Amino acid sequence: MPTAVLDLELTKIPEKIEGLNNYTHAFILIRLKGTALGKKVLPVYNGRLNRKEIKDQLIEAAGWPLWEHWLSDYLDLERSLKELVLPSATVAVCTRDRPDDVKRCLESLMKLPDDGQEMIIIDNCPSTDRTFHIVQEYPRVKYIREDRPGSSAARNRALKEASHEIVAFTDDDAAPETGWLRALLRNFDDPRVLCVTGQVMPLKLDNKAQEWFELYIPLGRGFQKMIYDGVSHNRFNVARIGVSANMALRKNIGSCIGNFDEDLGVGTPARCGEDHELFSRILAAGYKIVYEPQAVNWHRHRSTWRELRQTLFNYGIGVYAFWTRSLVVEGELGVMKLPFMWFFYEQLPNLMKSILKRPNSIPFDLLWMELAGCLAGPWFYLASRRRMKGAYRKPHQSGDVI
Amino acid sequence: MNTDLPVVSVIIPTHNRCSSLKRLLQSLEKQTYSLENLEIIVVADGCDDDTLQMLDTYKAPYRMNFIAQRGQGAAAARNKGVEFAKGSLLIFLDDDTEPSEGLVEAHRLAHDNNQNSVVIGYLPPKLNITSSFFHNNLRAWWYEKFYRMSLPEHRFTYEDLLSGNFSLPRMLFNKIGGFNAIFPCREDYELGARLIKSGIDFYFVKDAMAYHRDTVTDLDRSLVRKREEGRGDVMFGRCHQDLIFQLNLSHFGDAISWRRKTLLNLVFRFPGLFDGIAFGLRSLLQFFEHFRMRGHWQRLYNRLLMYWYIRGLRDEFHNYHAFLNFLEDNRIQKSTKRNKLIIDLKKGLLEAEKSLDLNRPDSLFLCWAGIPVGYLSYQPGAERIRSPHLRYVLKTTFAYRLIQSMAIDLAYHEGEHRVDDARDIIKVKFQGMNYGEDKAI
């Protein structure tokens, strides 16, 4: 059931939305005066949507945040006495052999309002120089080549090379919208915030693989702004915080609590999990992470079933690799109970529902791949450490560099 | 301006911190404010290290006086310093601070813009040890406190007066009576309470920055200090009866379980025994930290803090019954005349804000075209209401009730005089709410 992805502004819904003949459903991002409020999936008949039919449903789906925002706008409550001065930013995109995605990403970066941000592309172990040539067409963008493998190494290079205070990361297959950078930057007002994560919306939902991805591990984390304070939030409860496809960090996070762990991440045997690991360290040191739902970027989900299975396998490896790393490097015995909690409270019920073929259960092979990834995780992490020839990574001494 | 008299006096109480003090004096030499209008007064409170020799031989480009007194505590030291001060503006700095170059200038500018008020400066911590649970929490606490103060909607309370870096005009200090020297700690909160109650405004100025180079505070010291805070809170309660129920000690009154009450009775009766248990548990904290058991560490640490606080209470009241009587005697407060303001939001927010800033009420009643929205009741110990508080409160606490009132008003105007269920009204009327072309959804 292919689903069209639409971005509708409630005050400006067109009378009829045409051209949806190939789709059976529409995934609608609901906005009011530019603010993203909610999402809804509606059925599409005869290839069109009528405003009269859908408007009420969208208002219902947006719920209370819609009225809160409406009130705020109507009474002009957002006008604050303090003029917020946004910090200077560098936008960094880490990429490897995906020139088409890079092109789309750069196109949307060009549409960001010019606040003096610097833009850099880190090309990680490229096998061709197509990316290099594409970047040449955009004079505002700086090209840097990083030959140490792994997305963590690439991001750490971005942190090193950036010349502004905040580094905003977006993945090469995720295209940010125009308000993205400003939405991220306005949360750095509080000096204790080291990281701001944004919301990731799907670019296309044309086939089953993409829809299941969105359903099972959606990259977006809801429309409510969340502040995770390390003082009160458990450091291992990081799954809901955000994803590295859309985040911003302070450049001097390295001297504060250390950079990304280069044994984890895409491109290493440990596959992913470097973002969870960084969030965990930020919380452990008592700093804050903010999830900003208004910083939206549009991610191209994998379109074949095989890639989806591989993604879930990698996800399982990544989570267990992160836990293994915390145990081995930081001596966190608290990780021991996490696999059991996850298994008994989430993975096992999902498996049972799938085996018994309950309605809306997640396909069994996806769950199985994730579980297989989990079992393999610790070994892959240790292999990654050996391969990276990493000297024993001492836990980084935190400093006050705010 | 009479160039003989200094304009700004910086008062520094100190106790056996010679090198910190020297570092402070040296960084004061680099102030952007003109040094000839600056006067530094150091009060050496019971110093038996090299402090006095250092001060004697210190060559300063600004006027510097120092006074030695036997150990009487920081509050008495500050009062003493003010006696000798000649400047019209007083800035209080602690001896473990390291001011930025613009500190004095920033304080001065803030007072030029806001006469007769208290300016609180920014004092971020620079801790030496940085990876222990205690220090992470401490750093987070300081930064959070200052961040809240920097928000425009913050409502200042007596707890915002931090004595490490603040300034006020000398006349105001003398009029209010200065610090109350009997307090072992909490003397800053006590001064803050008196200032707030007389209607003085507080301002937070981030540019008036000094680093707080705290090398002494650690877990054990925090437990000892908590005991002093217990005593301080009792004295505070005696001086300010209307604020008793804002203090921690009010949580140990009658409304606790009988188990807790029994425990409290025992602690009051056999302090020595429980002190021993507390010391034992303190080493358990180290065990938890070594094995990174954060949750257990936090819970045990909180319990230990509570224990030492109760010990402080016991220092003032020798049995639990006397403490309960103290709370009971002050439960019924004499009611005093309060300034209440009623605002109709339909007349416009700008009007409402102007009215608030003019009247500065203690309590606020909000309505929309006569339909009640909410009530901000009198908060003892907090500043009187200002306009930024209104917008914040409308966005958060009263948002739902405001929309309800707006819907009822709209329903009324459209002819439905009987309002059966506000929720139905909201559902139906919102959909067609039409307060002007561009506002319609």
- Taking only the tens place, the pLDDT of each residue in B203-216 is 999 999 999 998 88
What is the pLDDT at residue B404? 85
* pLDDT for res A32: 87
Report the pLDDT value the prediction gives residue B338, as an integer from 0 to 100: 84
Contacts of B287 in chain A (CB under 8 A): none
User: Is A262 in contact with A277 (CB distance < 8 Å)?
Assistant: no
CA distance A224 to chain B (A): 14
pLDDT of residue B432: 46
Confidence grade of residue A391 (pLDDT, cut at 50, 70, 90): very low
Question: For residue A189, which amino acid is it?
Answer: D
**Percent of chain A residues past pLDDT 90, beyond the cut:** 54
Q: Do A71 and B293 touch (CB under 8 A)?
A: no
Specify the pLDDT at position B416. 54
Using an 8 Å CB-CB cutoff, list chain A residues near B294.
234-235, 284, 334
* Most A CBs within 10 Å, among B133, B144, B146, B405, to test the A interface: B144
CA atoms within 13 A on the CB side of B412: 10
How far is B384 from chain A, CA to nearest CA, in Å?
Answer: 18
Residue in chain A closest to B434 (alpha carbons) equals A74
Q: How many CB atoms lie within 10 A of CB B126?
A: 17
Nearest CA in chain A to B345: A75
What was the pLDDT predicted at A80? 61
The reply to whether A101 touches chain B by the CB within 8 Å rule is no
Residue of B nearest to A69 (CA): B395
Cβ pair B136:A398 closer than 8 A: yes
Which pLDDT score, from 0 to 100, does residue B2 have? 46
Res B170: pLDDT = 94
pLDDT in tens, B100-149: 999 999 999 999 999 999 999 999 998 877 678 999 999 999 999 999 99
Summarize pLDDT for B316-352 with one digit per residue, the tens.
988 889 999 999 888 877 777 788 999 999 898 889 9
Q: Is it the case that residue A130 has pLDDT exceeding 80?
A: yes
**pLDDT tens, position by position, A242-255:** 888 999 999 999 88
- At what angle are helices B258-269 and B271-290 packed, to 10 degrees? 110
Residue A11's pLDDT band (cuts 50, 70, 90): confident
Residue B147, chain A, CB below 8 Å: the answer is: yes
Is residue B71 pLDDT above 60, yes or no? yes
Which pLDDT does position B407 carry in this prediction? 82
Looking at residue B130, its pLDDT comes to 67
- Residue A120: the pLDDT is 95
User: Is the pLDDT at B3 greater than 60, yes or no?
Assistant: no
Of the partner residues A286, A331, A395, the one whose CB lies closest to the CB of residue B140: A286
**Given a cut of 90, is residue B174 above it in pLDDT?**
yes
Residues A269, A173: contact at Cβ < 8 Å?
no
Kindly state whether B436 is in contact with chain A, defined as any CB-CB distance less than 8 angstroms: no
Alpha-carbon distance A287 to nearest alpha carbon in chain B (angstroms): 7
The per-residue pLDDT for range B216-233, each reduced to its tens digit, is: 888 999 999 999 999 999
Candidates A64, A77, A81; nearest CB to B394: A77
Q: Is A286 on the interface with B (CB under 8 A)?
A: yes
Cα Rg of chain B, angstroms: 26
CA dist B47 and B157 (Å) reads 33
**Searching chain A, which residue's CA lies closest to the CA of residue B140?**
A286
Q: B402 and A402 in contact by Cβ < 8 A? A: no
The 10s digit of each residue's pLDDT in A25-34 is 999 999 988 8
Looking at the complex, report in whole angstroms how far the Cα of residue A138 sits from the nearest Cα belonging to chain B.
39
So what's the pLDDT on residue A322?
Answer: 93
Token representation of residue B49: 């290290």
A224 has a chain B CB within 8 A of its CB: no
Round the average pLDDT of chain A to a whole number and report it: 88
Residue A82: per-residue pLDDT? 58
Q: Which pLDDT value is given to residue B440? A: 41
Mean pLDDT of A224-240: 91
Residue A49: name the closest of A29, A9, A21, A10 by CA.
Answer: A21
Cα–Cα distance for residue pair B377/B358, rounded to 1 Å: 19
Q: Under 8 Å CB-to-CB from B296, ≥6 apart: which residues?
A: B288
Above pLDDT 90, what percent of chain B?
59
> How far is residue B434's CA from residue B423's CA, in Å, rounded to a whole number?
18
pLDDT value at residue B434: 39
Q: Is B216 exposed, middle or buried (CB count within 10 Å of its CB: 0-12, 13-18, 19+)?
A: exposed
Nearest CA to A107 out of A71, A140, A79 is that of A140
Cβ-nearest to A67 among B131, B295, B403: B403
Amino acid at A326: S
Residues present in chain A in total = 402
Q: Which of A72, A81, A285 sits opposite B136 (nearest CB)?
A: A285
CA–CA gap between residue B141 and residue B137 (Å, rounded)? 6
Share of chain B above pLDDT 70, in %: 92
Contacts of A365 (CB under 8 A, 6+ apart): A309
For B:204-233, CB contacts with A below 8 A are none
Q: Which residues in chain B are contacts of A284 at CB distance < 8 A? A: 136, 294
State the pLDDT at residue A216: 83
B125 touching A, CB under 8 A? yes
CB-closest option in B139, B150, B400 to A286: B139
Instruction: Encode pLDDT of A300-358 as tens digits.
Output: 988 889 998 998 899 999 999 999 999 998 888 888 989 999 999 999 999 999 999 98
**Which residue of B126, B395, B404 to mutate against A (max A Cβ within 10 Å)?**
B395
* Residue whose entry in the numeric block shows the structure tokens 């809240």: B148
pLDDT-derived band at B414, boundaries 50, 70, 90: low
Please give the pLDDT value at position B4: 66
- Interchain proximity B147–A190, CB inside 8 Å: yes
Give the DSSP H/E element, type plus range, for residue B25: helix B18-28
Check residue A398 and give its pLDDT. 46
- Provide the H-helix boundaries in B167-319: 170-176, 187-197, 219-239, 258-269, 271-290, 294-316
Chain A to chain B Cβ contacts (< 8 Å): 93
Cα separation of A101 and A172, whole Å? 6
CA–CA distance, B234 with B239 (Å, rounded to integer) = 9
Task: Give the pLDDT score at A211.
Answer: 86
Report the largest interatomic distance among the alpha carbons of chain A, rounded to a whole angstrom. Answer: 64
Q: Read off the pTM.
A: 0.90
Q: Is B293 on the interface with A (CB under 8 A)?
A: yes
Q: How many CA atoms lie within 13 A of A81 on its CB side?
A: 13
Q: For B69-87, what is the mean pLDDT?
A: 92
| B435–A contact, CB cutoff 8 A | yes
Quote the pLDDT of residue B255: 76
Q: How far is A352 from chain B (nearest CA, A)?
A: 32
pLDDT 10s digits, B423-440? 454 554 455 443 333 444
**A77 vs B: CB within 8 A:** yes
Q: How far apart are CA A316 and CA A350, in angstroms?
A: 15
Please return the burial class of B378, using the count of CB atoms within 10 Å of its CB with bins 0-12, 13-18 and 19+.
Answer: middle
Contact between A348 and A371 under an 8 Å Cβ cutoff? The reply is no
Q: From chain B, pick out residues whose CB is under 8 angstroms from the CB of A186.
A: none
Q: Would you place residue B422 in the very low, low, confident or very high pLDDT band (cuts 50, 70, 90)? A: very low
Amino acid residing at A369? M
> What integer pLDDT is reported at residue B330 of this predicted model?
84
Mean pLDDT value of segment A132-160: 92
SS3 call for B14: strand
Distance CA B234, CA B240 (A): 10
